Amino acid sequence: MTRNLIAILRGIHPEEALDIGGVLLDAGISQIEVPLNSPDPLYSIEILAKAYGASALIGAGTVINEADVQNVANFGGKLIVSPDCNSAVIKKTKELGLHSFPGIMTPTEAFMALRSGADGLKLFPGSLIGPSGLKAIRAVLPQDCKVLAVGAAGPENFAEWKSAGVNGFGIGSALYKAGMSWNDVAKRAADIVVAYDEVFSVGE
Protein backbone atom coordinates (compact mmCIF):
# COMPACT_ATOMS: atom_id res chain seq x y z
CA MET A 1 0.00 0.00 0.00
CA THR A 2 1.33 3.43 -0.97
CA ARG A 3 0.25 6.27 1.28
CA ASN A 4 0.17 9.75 -0.23
CA LEU A 5 2.97 10.86 2.04
CA ILE A 6 6.33 12.13 0.85
CA ALA A 7 9.12 12.33 3.41
CA ILE A 8 11.23 15.44 2.80
CA LEU A 9 14.77 14.81 4.06
CA ARG A 10 16.21 18.30 3.78
CA GLY A 11 19.76 18.45 5.10
CA ILE A 12 20.39 14.70 5.22
CA HIS A 13 23.95 13.43 4.68
CA PRO A 14 24.67 10.36 2.54
CA GLU A 15 25.98 8.39 5.52
CA GLU A 16 22.57 8.76 7.22
CA ALA A 17 20.46 7.90 4.21
CA LEU A 18 20.36 4.12 4.54
CA ASP A 19 19.21 4.09 8.17
CA ILE A 20 16.73 6.95 7.82
CA GLY A 21 15.26 5.47 4.67
CA GLY A 22 14.88 2.11 6.37
CA VAL A 23 12.92 3.43 9.33
CA LEU A 24 10.64 5.41 7.01
CA LEU A 25 9.80 2.32 5.00
CA ASP A 26 9.31 0.27 8.16
CA ALA A 27 6.80 2.90 9.36
CA GLY A 28 4.89 2.74 6.07
CA ILE A 29 6.18 5.82 4.25
CA SER A 30 7.39 4.72 0.84
CA GLN A 31 7.95 8.02 -0.98
CA ILE A 32 11.14 9.91 -0.15
CA GLU A 33 12.63 13.11 -1.53
CA VAL A 34 16.08 14.50 -0.89
CA PRO A 35 16.08 18.25 -1.58
CA LEU A 36 18.93 19.24 -3.87
CA ASN A 37 20.13 21.89 -1.41
CA SER A 38 21.11 19.10 1.00
CA PRO A 39 24.75 17.98 1.38
CA ASP A 40 25.74 15.69 -1.55
CA PRO A 41 22.07 15.07 -2.42
CA LEU A 42 22.66 12.95 -5.51
CA TYR A 43 24.70 10.45 -3.51
CA SER A 44 21.97 10.18 -0.90
CA ILE A 45 19.47 9.58 -3.69
CA GLU A 46 21.71 6.92 -5.20
CA ILE A 47 22.08 5.15 -1.85
CA LEU A 48 18.33 5.20 -1.23
CA ALA A 49 17.45 4.16 -4.78
CA LYS A 50 19.84 1.20 -4.75
CA ALA A 51 18.67 -0.01 -1.36
CA TYR A 52 14.95 0.71 -1.54
CA GLY A 53 14.08 1.57 -5.14
CA ALA A 54 12.23 -1.71 -5.69
CA SER A 55 9.71 -0.92 -2.95
CA ALA A 56 9.81 2.86 -2.66
CA LEU A 57 9.64 5.94 -4.85
CA ILE A 58 12.90 7.82 -4.35
CA GLY A 59 13.83 11.18 -5.81
CA ALA A 60 14.66 14.81 -5.34
CA GLY A 61 13.07 18.01 -4.14
CA THR A 62 13.95 21.63 -4.91
CA VAL A 63 14.44 20.69 -8.56
CA ILE A 64 14.44 23.92 -10.57
CA ASN A 65 16.03 23.16 -13.94
CA GLU A 66 16.26 20.48 -16.60
CA ALA A 67 19.89 19.64 -15.83
CA ASP A 68 18.91 18.75 -12.27
CA VAL A 69 16.19 16.43 -13.58
CA GLN A 70 18.74 14.60 -15.72
CA ASN A 71 21.19 14.34 -12.83
CA VAL A 72 18.55 12.87 -10.54
CA ALA A 73 17.63 10.31 -13.19
CA ASN A 74 21.30 9.42 -13.68
CA PHE A 75 21.60 8.63 -9.97
CA GLY A 76 18.50 6.42 -9.92
CA GLY A 77 15.87 8.88 -8.73
CA LYS A 78 12.34 8.59 -10.08
CA LEU A 79 10.52 11.40 -8.25
CA ILE A 80 10.91 15.08 -9.13
CA VAL A 81 9.43 17.65 -6.75
CA SER A 82 9.83 21.39 -7.34
CA PRO A 83 9.05 24.56 -5.40
CA ASP A 84 7.71 26.22 -8.55
CA CYS A 85 5.82 25.43 -11.74
CA ASN A 86 8.32 25.23 -14.60
CA SER A 87 6.89 23.61 -17.70
CA ALA A 88 10.36 22.77 -19.04
CA VAL A 89 11.20 20.87 -15.86
CA ILE A 90 7.87 19.02 -15.96
CA LYS A 91 8.30 18.05 -19.60
CA LYS A 92 11.88 16.87 -19.05
CA THR A 93 10.70 14.83 -16.08
CA LYS A 94 8.05 13.08 -18.12
CA GLU A 95 10.40 12.64 -21.08
CA LEU A 96 12.63 10.59 -18.76
CA GLY A 97 9.69 8.59 -17.40
CA LEU A 98 9.84 10.09 -13.91
CA HIS A 99 7.09 11.27 -11.56
CA SER A 100 6.44 15.03 -11.59
CA PHE A 101 5.09 17.09 -8.66
CA PRO A 102 5.64 20.81 -9.31
CA GLY A 103 4.84 23.49 -6.77
CA ILE A 104 1.76 25.62 -7.39
CA MET A 105 -0.14 28.37 -5.56
CA THR A 106 -2.75 29.53 -8.07
CA PRO A 107 -5.24 28.00 -10.52
CA THR A 108 -3.15 29.41 -13.39
CA GLU A 109 -0.08 27.53 -12.18
CA ALA A 110 -2.11 24.42 -11.45
CA PHE A 111 -3.51 24.18 -14.96
CA MET A 112 -0.16 25.02 -16.55
CA ALA A 113 1.38 22.15 -14.58
CA LEU A 114 -1.32 19.71 -15.62
CA ARG A 115 -1.13 20.75 -19.28
CA SER A 116 2.63 20.20 -19.15
CA GLY A 117 2.11 16.62 -17.96
CA ALA A 118 2.48 16.79 -14.17
CA ASP A 119 1.39 13.69 -12.27
CA GLY A 120 0.13 15.78 -9.38
CA LEU A 121 0.44 19.15 -7.70
CA LYS A 122 2.43 20.29 -4.69
CA LEU A 123 0.46 23.03 -2.95
CA PHE A 124 3.29 25.18 -1.65
CA PRO A 125 3.64 26.87 0.70
CA GLY A 126 0.62 25.40 2.41
CA SER A 127 1.02 27.86 5.27
CA LEU A 128 0.12 30.75 2.97
CA ILE A 129 -2.76 29.10 1.16
CA GLY A 130 -4.30 27.03 3.93
CA PRO A 131 -7.19 24.58 3.64
CA SER A 132 -9.63 27.36 2.69
CA GLY A 133 -7.44 28.38 -0.24
CA LEU A 134 -7.12 24.80 -1.38
CA LYS A 135 -10.89 24.34 -1.19
CA ALA A 136 -11.38 27.24 -3.58
CA ILE A 137 -8.76 25.95 -6.02
CA ARG A 138 -9.95 22.36 -5.72
CA ALA A 139 -13.39 23.38 -6.97
CA VAL A 140 -12.01 24.01 -10.47
CA LEU A 141 -9.45 21.20 -10.71
CA PRO A 142 -10.13 17.82 -12.34
CA GLN A 143 -11.54 15.43 -9.76
CA ASP A 144 -8.75 12.91 -10.33
CA CYS A 145 -6.00 15.50 -9.87
CA LYS A 146 -3.73 14.56 -6.96
CA VAL A 147 -2.89 17.48 -4.65
CA LEU A 148 -0.31 17.26 -1.88
CA ALA A 149 -0.02 20.00 0.73
CA VAL A 150 3.49 20.96 1.81
CA GLY A 151 4.11 23.36 4.68
CA ALA A 152 1.92 23.79 7.77
CA ALA A 153 0.56 20.26 7.39
CA GLY A 154 0.84 17.76 10.21
CA PRO A 155 -1.12 15.21 12.24
CA GLU A 156 -2.93 17.97 14.11
CA ASN A 157 -4.61 19.28 10.94
CA PHE A 158 -4.67 16.34 8.50
CA ALA A 159 -8.47 16.17 8.85
CA GLU A 160 -8.93 19.84 8.03
CA TRP A 161 -6.79 19.53 4.92
CA LYS A 162 -8.64 16.39 3.84
CA SER A 163 -11.99 18.12 4.13
CA ALA A 164 -10.64 20.82 1.80
CA GLY A 165 -9.80 18.20 -0.83
CA VAL A 166 -6.15 17.33 -0.26
CA ASN A 167 -4.95 13.85 -1.27
CA GLY A 168 -1.82 13.72 0.84
CA PHE A 169 1.17 15.57 2.20
CA GLY A 170 4.84 16.29 1.87
CA ILE A 171 6.23 16.26 5.41
CA GLY A 172 9.51 17.97 6.19
CA SER A 173 10.59 19.28 9.59
CA ALA A 174 7.72 17.55 11.39
CA LEU A 175 9.34 14.29 10.32
CA TYR A 176 13.04 14.97 9.84
CA LYS A 177 15.52 17.70 10.72
CA ALA A 178 19.22 17.63 9.92
CA GLY A 179 21.13 15.69 12.55
CA MET A 180 18.10 13.92 13.98
CA SER A 181 18.66 10.31 15.06
CA TRP A 182 16.97 7.48 13.24
CA ASN A 183 15.15 6.60 16.48
CA ASP A 184 13.55 10.04 16.60
CA VAL A 185 12.61 9.81 12.92
CA ALA A 186 11.10 6.38 13.48
CA LYS A 187 8.87 7.69 16.28
CA ARG A 188 7.74 10.73 14.31
CA ALA A 189 7.09 8.60 11.23
CA ALA A 190 4.99 6.15 13.23
CA ASP A 191 2.88 8.96 14.71
CA ILE A 192 2.37 10.56 11.29
CA VAL A 193 1.31 7.26 9.71
CA VAL A 194 -1.20 6.56 12.49
CA ALA A 195 -2.72 10.03 12.09
CA TYR A 196 -2.82 9.73 8.29
CA ASP A 197 -4.43 6.30 8.40
CA GLU A 198 -7.12 7.50 10.79
CA VAL A 199 -8.03 10.50 8.65
CA PHE A 200 -7.89 8.70 5.31
CA SER A 201 -9.48 5.50 6.68
CA VAL A 202 -6.57 3.34 5.58
CA GLY A 203 -7.18 -0.31 6.34
CA GLU A 204 -10.94 0.01 6.86
- 92 in a domain, yes or no? yes
- 204 in a domain, yes or no? no
- 30 in a domain, yes or no? yes
- 192 in a domain, yes or no? yes
- 177 in a domain, yes or no? yes
Over range 164-179, report the average pLDDT. 96
Q: In this structure, what CATH number is given to the domain that contains residue 141?
A: 3.20.20.70
Banded pLDDT at 152 (limits 50, 70, 90) = confident
Query: Which residues are catalytically annotated?
Result: 33, 122
Distance of alpha carbon 145 from alpha carbon 190, whole angstroms: 27
Can you give the three-state secondary structure of the chain, one letter per residue?
A: CCCCEEEECCCCCHHHHHHHHHHHHHHCCCEEEEECCCCCHHHHHHHHHHHHCCCCEEEEECCCCHHHHHHHHHCCCCEEECCCCCHHHHHHHHHCCCEEECEECCHHHHHHHHHCCCCCEEECCHHHHHHHHHHHHHCCCCCCCCEEEECCCCCCCHHHHHHCCCCEEEECCCCCCCCCCHHHHHHHHHHHHHHHHHHCCCCC
- 107 in a domain, yes or no? yes
The reported pTM is 0.96
- 45 in a domain, yes or no? yes
* Domain enclosing residue 97, as ranges: 5-199
- 29-84 tens-digit pLDDT: 999 999 999 999 999 999 999 999 999 999 999 999 999 999 999 999 999 999 99
Tally the domains of the chain: 1
